[in-house]
Structure 1
Amino acid sequence: MELVLKIAKVYKLGITTGFQQWKRILLPCILLAIWHGITVSGMVKPILLPSPAQVFDAFVAMLSTGELVTHLGTSMIRVVEGFFLAALLGVGLGLGLGIFPLMFELMDGLIQLLRPIPPIAWLPLAILWFGIEEGSKIFIIVIGAFFPIFINVLDGIRQTDHKFVELSQVLEVPRRKFITKVVIPGALPFIISGLRVGLGYAWMCVVAAELSAGMKGIGYMLTDARALAQTDRVLVGMLAIGVVGKIMDSLLRVIEKKIIRWKESFTGV
């Protein structure tokens, strides 16, 4: 009897797990079917929306020639470099302004003045300062990714429960220990969220920078394909960005679960 119950339990777990996996790919499958139906029906010209089969053929061709890997690899390196610098600046300044009120009063006005300026608006200055090569693109990525990271870190520091602040004062806990043991651990969910948002902005900025200047990168590839009316290649580039961005975001989520154990119970975050 016990063996039967164990088998039933395993079977039920397998069904549940399988259903959970299917839920993840259900919507993409539906969208793919709709896309295929639209292209087969002839409602849209192939030059405007090629079929999934055409896009897949273009993907295989670009993969075999190494073109996709070359351009995507170039953009990935730029994103990683710019995102790393933006993370250092965003986390560092966010912690500094959140912990030291005087520093916040001195710099908040300037930061709030610069924050609404779109990253792409910095491109003319970036080209003048750094040229059309790597420096200008890294600069644009840093500008774009910095503010989401900074704002989230600052909010995370400032949301520290006042009860903890009062308790630390009563117990005369050293300020340094309070910051390292209470404030920063409490802000970790905000820091990780800021990094995830900043990573998305980094990809948007690298494509925008490469669309405007440069001879390599996924943005340049999209511009070249658009000029030649190769819509299938444009879609391949867009999907490649989405897949790589998803993988990088998943890596951040793995790190998040490693350092913030209590968030594991919250699904779909």
Structure 2
Amino acid sequence: MPETTERENRHVQGLDALELQPARGKDDRNIAQVAGRIWSATWPKLAAIAIVLLSWQAVVWSGWRSEFVFPGPDKVLPTLFNEVTTPEFWTAVQVTMQRAFAGFALALVVGVLIGLAVSRFRPLRSAIGSLITGLQTMPSIVWFPFAMLLYGITESAIMFVIVLGAAPSIAGGLTSGIDYVNPSLLRAGQVMGLRGIQHYTLLIVPAALPMFVSGLKQGWAFAWRSLMAGELLVIINQQNSIGWALSQARQLNDAERLLSYIIIVLVIGIVIDVFFNWADRALRRRWGVSQD
């Protein structure tokens, strides 16, 4: 009897092991697939960075400009790492990003209100539709003399230009999204009795989201450019910011520090762009139009 019981236990353990092996194999395959996707998304970016660094260094070696004016990555990258470790750097980033998000939030409110109004009232679109397009094409730096005349050398001058730069793109993206809403959805909303605010919050705006996100992405690009121009032109009591650091490096002829902060501006722009791309892919998957 003991031998029989022992054989039965071994048999049960063997069955358990057979049941666990497929599960473990499936987990291993899932991990491998995730790792493969991460690598396929990462290696092109790493290759692009390597190509840029090699090209940059090759230009420096060519003697096109003196290394005092145009230093190579072997000098700029250590300066960049030193800047990142200082408290002043993070204070500058904090000030700049607070301005960026505050200005973009204001532009978002203004852009959404204008976009909804233009899409709702046809005469208004005929009146100011071309004006919105014209505002998108204007360089934001053109507005700064007028902004400083209105508000002086203050935060309000920077916010004013950010809103003028970003709001038209946001309004245009929302208007275009509403124009391409499927008419069958509009008829379905009427049958369901959607009226007033619910008509927009439950039907129009969700249906227009894919193109609206594109407008937000473009609006952020204009807001970021406007902010950088503003911080270079509107120096508020020498308040530490990325633009102020760029201006100081230029005045001191410190090319290594200047290029370091240019890289920082580029990296922040790329990070925000990655976020908008992620939001765009998520919306496309939800709408069933993604190829992923």
Name the TM-score class by shorter chain: 0.7 to 0.9
Q: How does the TM-score come out when normalised to structure 2?
A: 0.77
Assess, with a 3 A threshold, how the Cα gap between structure 1 residues 15 and 250 changes in structure 2: closer, same or farther: closer
Distance 2:117 2:186 in 1: 17
76-85 vs 156-165, which moves further: 156-165
The match for 2:166 is 145
The match for 2:245 is 221
The match for 1:118 is 139
Q: Is the aligned partner of 1:232 residue 2:256? A: yes
Distance 2:132 2:171 in 1: 10
Kindly tell me the number of residue pairs found equivalent between the two proteins.
267
108-117 vs 61-70, which moves further: 108-117
Distance 2:222 2:211 in 1: 16
Contact 1:137–1:206 at 8 Å: present in 2 too? yes
| Aligned partner of residue 49 in structure 1, secondary structure | coil
The match for 2:54 is 33
The match for 1:22 is 43
Contact 1:82–1:141 at 8 Å: present in 2 too? yes
74-83 vs 20-29, which moves further: 20-29
Assess, with a 3 A threshold, how the Cα gap between structure 1 residues 8 and 251 changes in structure 2: closer, same or farther: closer
RMSD value, Cα: 3.1
Contact 1:97–1:103 at 8 Å: present in 2 too? yes
Q: Is the aligned partner of 1:241 residue 2:241? A: no
**What amino acid is the match of 2:152?**
G
**What amino acid is the match of 2:247?**
T
Greater relative contact order, per chain length (Cα 8 Å cut-off, separation 6+):
1
The match for 2:7 is none
Contact 1:99–1:157 at 8 Å: present in 2 too? no
Q: 1:233: how far off?
A: 1.2
| Per-residue CA distance 1:61-92 (angstroms, 9 max, x = gap) | 32344332232222211111111100111012
Distance 1:82 1:53 in 2: 36
Q: 1:24: how far off?
A: 2.7
Distance 1:101 1:112 in 2: 16
Q: How does the TM-score come out when normalised to structure 1?
A: 0.83
Distance 2:263 2:291 in 1: 25
Contact 1:222–1:234 at 8 Å: present in 2 too? yes
30-39 vs 139-148, which moves further: 30-39
Assess, with a 3 A threshold, how the Cα gap between structure 1 residues 54 and 267 changes in structure 2: closer, same or farther: farther
Q: Is the aligned partner of 1:209 residue 2:233? A: no
Structure 1 spans left out of the alignment, 5+ residues: none
Distance 1:249 1:209 in 2: 21
Assess, with a 3 A threshold, how the Cα gap between structure 1 residues 8 and 206 changes in structure 2: closer, same or farther: closer
Q: Percent identity among equivalent residues?
A: 27
